[in-house]
Amino acid sequence: MKRFLHYIDGRFEEGSAQFQSLDPATGQPWAEMPEARTEDVNRAVTAAERAFFDPSWSGLTATQRGKLLYKLADLVEANAPKLAQLETQDTGKIIRETSAQVAYVADYYRYYAGLADKIEGAHLPIDKQDMEVWLRREPVGVVAAIVPWNNQLFLSAVKIGPALAAGCTLIVKASEEGPAPLLEFAKLIEEAGFPKGVVNIITGFGPECGQVLTSHPSVAHVAFTGGPETAKHIVRNSAENLASTSLELGGKSPFIVFEDADIDSAVNAQISGIFAATGQSCVAGSRLIIAKSIKDEFLARLKAKAEAVVIGHPQDMATEVGPLCSQRQRDHINAVIKASVDAGAKLLTGGVDCERDGFYFPPTILDCSEVPNAPCVTTELFGPVLSVLTFETEAEALQMANDTKFGLASGIFTKSLTRAHRMVKGIRSGIVWVNTYRAVSPVAPFGGQGLSGHGREGGLQAALDYTTVKTVWLRTSDDPIPDPFVMR
């Protein structure tokens, strides 16, 4: 059985304990993972704090930090096939997706490599004649970066890249469900030549790892991707150290199709939006809100495509939908579907466990047009399950889209430019895709509002989130400062 190690202060080491990781394609153990407990977390934070002040890191120019990130990007690109294979093995994500996604991760590191020496301060036109005042942007300090299992290499890159560009140091906590690719990625940090302690990578469970890390007095910023309930615990923990937070949480994203939309294009985008990554994506377009006049035609095409999806082993390049990450996730989906059908939702396709080893679940479509508050409509399932609602007016479509506590992503399909602008303005979400879906770029900020969190990942804004502003006052007059107690 393969054995993985933590990376703390430039050393690869065992955790205080070990646990087995299951292969989602078989449900069987395939690797031993290190489990970080309080003492491991404390050593990692101590290493990151020491490295933050050490001249080997703090003495580097922004350009030199950028060169290290460029080297890391090249290493990610060169090792993408191996990293993709590990991510598929440990999480069940299909190899055709992980191969493309991991290769693209290198572009994120290159973007932040180029941005490192472009994080600028400002000169203020102050209202005092004998003063010069300017702002310096400086690294916020030690960062705790916590990522989920579903896309660890990407979701860590949008934290590690901007944090290092800004000059911070990090403790990265890989998800205990599928940590293999990030623990392997630590070897590339070592090979790229980052000073010891600048990046530390661990994994472990809640109380003795995550809680200790997010409440540690030396942690200045917590960057988290995951669910809102865990995020609430993190915010409570951050009261202990007053760390700032950036939270990229879940979603129940509306996918709105108007009667004038290109149906073929919208169907393909919906298939990608909900069934790609086996639906295990925070931006999954899980609520189809469709004009009543085209519902039957649209659903007929969608159902046919859903039933033609190739379900198979995630390492097979022909596979289009692989297993869920865990049995716990499959149990949750089954329970919500049953409750939704009991409430009146109509099962159009799928909805029953696949009869094979592993944690497989088929593409599923539920018509909820008569029960818009069914559990599957309001609950994030994190699986290949689509809920269908219908509307007759634009105002009704907008109301349905905003009828959620989440606000991460949304999709709008229409040929009307004026309607698209009205919907973009009215919809409450951090991302709006018009006549496309799931497009991402290192240049474009990514994040949400409401229960989908706050802060942004990607783009310049992400790097600024890892900085703090220092105001500098310089008196330019050579005259003595007047006696403050002599009235003039």
Q: How confident is the model at residue 355 (pLDDT cuts 50, 70, 90)?
A: confident
Judge whether 191 and 75 are in contact, CB under 8 Å.
yes
Q: How far is CA 303 from CA 274, 340, 366, 388, in A?
A: 13, 19, 10, 12
Counting residues of the chain whose pLDDT is more than 70, the rounded percentage is 100
Domain, as residue range, for 205: 2-249+448-472
Q: Would you say residue 458 lies in a domain?
A: yes
Domain holding 422: CATH number?
Answer: 3.40.309.10
Locate tokens 């606000």: which residue? Answer: 407
Please check whether residues 41 and 186 belong to one and the same domain. yes
User: Cα(108)–Cα(185) distance, rounded to whole angstroms?
Assistant: 15
Please check whether residues 80 and 217 belong to one and the same domain. yes
Among residues 339, 336, 384, the alpha carbon closest in space to that of 94 is found at 384
Six-digit token pair at 368? Answer: 């909820």
Q: Does residue 161 carry a pLDDT above 70?
A: yes
Q: Does residue 353 carry a pLDDT above 90?
A: no
**Residue partners of 167: CB distance under 8 A and separation at least 6:** 57, 58, 60, 62, 65, 138, 139
User: Cα(182)–Cα(8) distance, rounded to whole angstroms?
Assistant: 13
Q: Would you say residue 486 lies in a domain?
A: no
Please check whether residues 343 and 244 belong to one and the same domain. no
pLDDT, one tens digit per residue, over 227-238 is: 999 999 999 999
More confident residue, 294 or 150: 294
Please check whether residues 296 and 425 belong to one and the same domain. yes
Please check whether residues 374 and 266 belong to one and the same domain. yes
Please check whether residues 224 and 317 belong to one and the same domain. no
Judge whether 310 and 322 are in contact, CB under 8 Å.
no
Tell me the residue type at 321: V
Q: How many domains does the chain have?
A: 2
Q: Would you say residue 487 lies in a domain?
A: no
User: What pLDDT does residue 206 have?
Assistant: 87
Judge whether 395 and 401 are in contact, CB under 8 Å.
no
User: What pLDDT does residue 57 have?
Assistant: 98
Q: Does residue 304 carry a pLDDT above 80?
A: yes
User: Cα(4)–Cα(13) distance, rounded to whole angstroms?
Assistant: 9
Among residues 73, 393, 132, 135, the alpha carbon closest in space to that of 256 is found at 393
**Average pLDDT, integer, range 133-138:** 98
User: What pLDDT does residue 212 have?
Assistant: 97
Q: Which residues pair with 413 in a beta bridge?
A: 257
pLDDT, one tens digit per residue, over 195-213 is: 999 999 999 998 899 999 9
- The DSSP-derived string for 52-102 is HHSHHHHTS-HHHHHHHHHHHHHHHHHTHHHHHHHHHHHH---HHHHHHHH
Confirm whether pTM is higher than 0.75.
yes
> How confident is the prediction for the chain on average, in pLDDT?
96
State the catalytic residues.
248
Among residues 265, 300, 329, 85, the alpha carbon closest in space to that of 184 is found at 85
Task: Give the H or E element holding residue 308.
Answer: helix 295-308
User: Cα(199)–Cα(488) distance, rounded to whole angstroms?
Assistant: 57
**Coil, strand or helix at 448:** coil
Q: Would you say residue 443 lies in a domain?
A: no
Please check whether residues 387 and 279 belong to one and the same domain. yes
Please check whether residues 124 and 145 belong to one and the same domain. yes
Q: Does residue 96 carry a pLDDT above 80?
A: yes
Six-digit token pair at 467? Answer: 């900085």
Please check whether residues 187 and 265 belong to one and the same domain. no
Q: In 10 A of CB 104, how many CB atoms?
A: 18
Q: Would you say residue 440 lies in a domain?
A: no
Please check whether residues 235 and 268 belong to one and the same domain. no
Q: Would you say residue 63 lies in a domain?
A: yes
pLDDT, one tens digit per residue, over 375-407 is: 999 999 999 999 999 999 999 999 999 999 999
Q: Does residue 488 carry a pLDDT above 80?
A: no
pLDDT, one tens digit per residue, over 3-38 is: 999 999 999 999 999 999 999 999 999 999 999 999
Please check whether residues 273 and 219 belong to one and the same domain. no
Please check whether residues 157 and 49 belong to one and the same domain. yes
Six-digit token pair at 160? Answer: 């590690």
Angle of CA points 64, 172, 452, to nearest 5°: 110
Domain holding 45: CATH number?
Answer: 3.40.605.10
Q: Would you say residue 116 lies in a domain?
A: yes
User: Cα(232)–Cα(244) distance, rounded to whole angstroms?
Assistant: 14
pLDDT, one tens digit per residue, over 432-481 is: 999 999 999 999 999 999 999 999 999 999 999 999 999 999 999 999 99
Q: Would you say residue 171 lies in a domain?
A: yes
Six-digit token pair at 356? Answer: 């094979």
Six-digit token pair at 342? Answer: 């009991």
User: Cα(469)–Cα(467) distance, rounded to whole angstroms?
Assistant: 7
